[in-house]
Structure 1
Amino acid sequence: MKQGTLKADILLLMTATIWGFAFVAQRVGMDYVGPFTFNGVRFALGSLSLLPLILLLGKRQSQPKGIERIPVFKGALLAGLALFAGSSLQQAGLVYTTAGNAGFITGLYVVLVPIVGLFWRQRPRVGTWIGAMLAVVGLYFLSVTSDFTISFGDFLVLLAAFFWAGHVLLIGWLAPRTDPLKLASAQFAVCAALSLLTALAVEQVSLQGILDATVPILYGGLGSVGIAYTLQVIAQRDAHPAHSAIIMSLEGVFAALGGWWLLGEILTLRGLFGCGLMLAGMIVSELSVFFGQKKPDAAGELSPVGE
């Protein structure tokens, strides 16, 4: 293995670890503030944290020729709306479910992306359908009870996964048509504004609550968004797509480990079996896409969603 590839894999592993443990921070944050307040502050911090990266790398970004350019603010509005929907449902779901469950269920967006892509007239590969079936069976063992009901929290996080999938497809279309770093920062700002406006309307926002949630908010904003996104950008310059697929799928595993280590959450054998099937489904789905494509699509490669 080349030194550059090994370094990239290590950086991606760090990214997956940070994103996985972010589910713990998100859940702890709910002890002090509402979900919209938490998202509003952390995405505002995340947006600001990307400004140094924009100043450092912004001038080096090159755009493919022959593709229609889209103003950053227009793309940010579209992506920010999808991000707001996905993050709001996920954050609200974390009030009622565990960090481990949320991590694995959120990871289903990997399987959902090519399926939702049917609306864009994209044809999923056979491996994608196999991965989807494994993930669905895994979700049954993880979340569905003997009474064939799913917990409210898991259901909200599952709905969020569909919005994450749509967001990935949207970013894949927008990225080559605008500055990707400015788009990332601007979409976080849009999500922050929508979250804070909603929080003012439906939650009791207090400075003391925000201060009490300082550590989870800082981790979610600066760690999960700023640091992890930067590591991902650097790593994917040299990362092998297959390695990236497998490593980024470990996000759910780290969420479960973080929930067990820091919050005392315990997965039953049934839940562990379900998580294993879901992880296998994600890996099969991703690898089928990477090994099956002959060249990158004109719209750009799809990249994982940062939590």
Structure 2
Amino acid sequence: MNTRALRADVLLFLTAAIWGLAFVAQRVGMEHVGPLTFNGIRFALGALALVPLTLALEKRRTPGFAGADRRRMAIGGGMLGLALFIGASLQQIGLAGPQLAGFGLEASTAGKAGFITGLYVVLVPIFGLLLAQRPGWGTWVGAALAVVGMYLLSVTSDLTISFGDLLVFIGAFFWAGHVLLVGKLSPGLDAVDAIKLSTIQFAACAVLSLVGALLTEEITLPGIVGAGPAIAYGGLMSVGVAYTLQVVAQRDAQPAHAAIILSLESVFAAIGGWIMLGEVLTTRGLVGCGLMLGGMLLSQLKP
């Protein structure tokens, strides 16, 4: 392995770790603010965090380069922001322990949410059937493993699933739809326009989340201050830093390496939940996680 490829793998590993530990931050933040407030501020910070990267890449552009059509960027960014808003909201509400407990409902854990959200990598090629794509055997075997793993991880012996896990699972469908939208909108975009598109979608998600928070949640300064470290991690590290690392790394990374390393996001979520939040997975849950991770890898490596 050459030096550039090794550096890329290290950066992708850091990206997976940052994204995985973000589930811990999301869970902690729910002790102080509502889920929409958390997401609104988080994605606003994320959009601002990408501005320096955009400006730096803009300077490297060929003089006189026109760039992508602004109308396409605005409409596409808005559509991506809507899909991101729904997926992120379902995920965040599913992690909202104190809020769901007030209704007698059980929230998801950081580790379980990480693995369940990761199911989008299996759903994407299956949804591709609607676009006349033909998934290979790896997708179907991976989907079967993921379904069995999901059952072992989230469905209890009396055939019930927690409300939080169910919301996170529904959110995975919107994450998959988001990926398909990216696939439709990104061809022909250079690096600068791709990051501009991401900035627009994060800003759109932030606006939708904050409007929803103003209508449905109580926003207080002490709450925001209390959730400050978790919000900062979710916005600056998970969105700004990790996204930048991914963009830099995937220029030199081998696709197979990238697929395997980024799938470790769900593993880091489980490890972070165990170390920082005291979350414990049963043997049944660990087997389920293993099957789900195997299904994710098969779906990506043998699509």
- 1:42 paired residue number: 42
Partner Cα separation in structure 1 for residue 242 and residue 131 of structure 2: 29
Structure 2 length-normalised TM = 0.92
Structure 1 residue 59: deviation in Å?
A: 5.2
Q: Determine if contact 1:58/1:181 at 8 Å carries over to the other structure.
A: no
Partner Cα separation in structure 2 for residue 263 and residue 149 of structure 1: 24
Look up the equivalent residue of 1:74 and give its one-letter code: I
Count of residue pairs brought into register by the alignment: 284
Superposed CA RMSD in Å reads: 1.3
Partner Cα separation in structure 1 for residue 61 and residue 270 of structure 2: 36
- 1:138 paired residue number: 149
Q: Which moved more, 1:177-186 or 1:15-24?
A: 177-186
Look up the equivalent residue of 2:282 and give its one-letter code: T
Structure 1 residue 122: deviation in Å?
A: 1.4
Is 1:175–2:175 an aligned residue pair? no
Within 5 Å, which residues of 2 pair with 1:112-127?
Answer: 112-127=123-138
Which residue of 254, 258, 264 maps to 1:250? 264
Structure 1 residue 61: deviation in Å?
A: 6.5
Partner Cα separation in structure 1 for residue 23 and residue 244 of structure 2: 19
CA 256–157 in structure 1, closer or farther in 2 if over 3 Å, else same = same
Is 1:100–2:100 an aligned residue pair? no
Structure 1 residue 85: deviation in Å?
A: 0.5
Structure 1 residue 47: deviation in Å?
A: 0.2
Structure 1 length-normalised TM = 0.90
SS in 1 for 2:133: coil
Structure 1 residue 58: deviation in Å?
A: 3.2
Partner Cα separation in structure 2 for residue 20 and residue 253 of structure 1: 7
Look up the equivalent residue of 1:55 and give its one-letter code: L
Partner Cα separation in structure 2 for residue 155 and residue 18 of structure 1: 24
Partner Cα separation in structure 1 for residue 73 and residue 222 of structure 2: 35
Partner Cα separation in structure 1 for residue 7 and residue 278 of structure 2: 33
- 1:10 paired residue number: 10
Look up the equivalent residue of 1:284 and give its one-letter code: L
Is 1:199–2:208 an aligned residue pair? no
Q: Determine if contact 1:117/1:123 at 8 Å carries over to the other structure.
A: yes
SS in 1 for 2:253: coil
Look up the equivalent residue of 1:143 and give its one-letter code: S
Partner Cα separation in structure 2 for residue 285 and residue 78 of structure 1: 26
Structure 1 residue 60: deviation in Å?
A: 4.6
- 2:158 paired residue number: 147
- 2:86 paired residue number: 85
Partner Cα separation in structure 1 for residue 61 and residue 148 of structure 2: 42
Runs of at least 5 residues in structure 1 that lack an aligned partner in the other structure = 63-67, 290-307
Partner Cα separation in structure 1 for residue 46 and residue 135 of structure 2: 33
Runs of at least 5 residues in structure 2 that lack an aligned partner in the other structure = 63-67, 97-106
Look up the equivalent residue of 1:93 and give its one-letter code: G
SS in 2 for 1:176: coil
Structure 1 residue 173: deviation in Å?
A: 1.3
Which residue of 119, 122, 125 maps to 1:111? 122
Structure 1 residue 177: deviation in Å?
A: 4.6
CA 192–147 in structure 1, closer or farther in 2 if over 3 Å, else same = same
- 1:72 paired residue number: 73
- 1:280 paired residue number: 294
Partner Cα separation in structure 1 for residue 180 and residue 301 of structure 2: 17
Q: Which moved more, 1:1-10 or 1:176-185?
A: 176-185
Partner Cα separation in structure 2 for residue 75 and residue 219 of structure 1: 27
Partner Cα separation in structure 1 for residue 89 and residue 135 of structure 2: 28
Stretches of 4+ aligned residues off by more than 6 angstroms: none
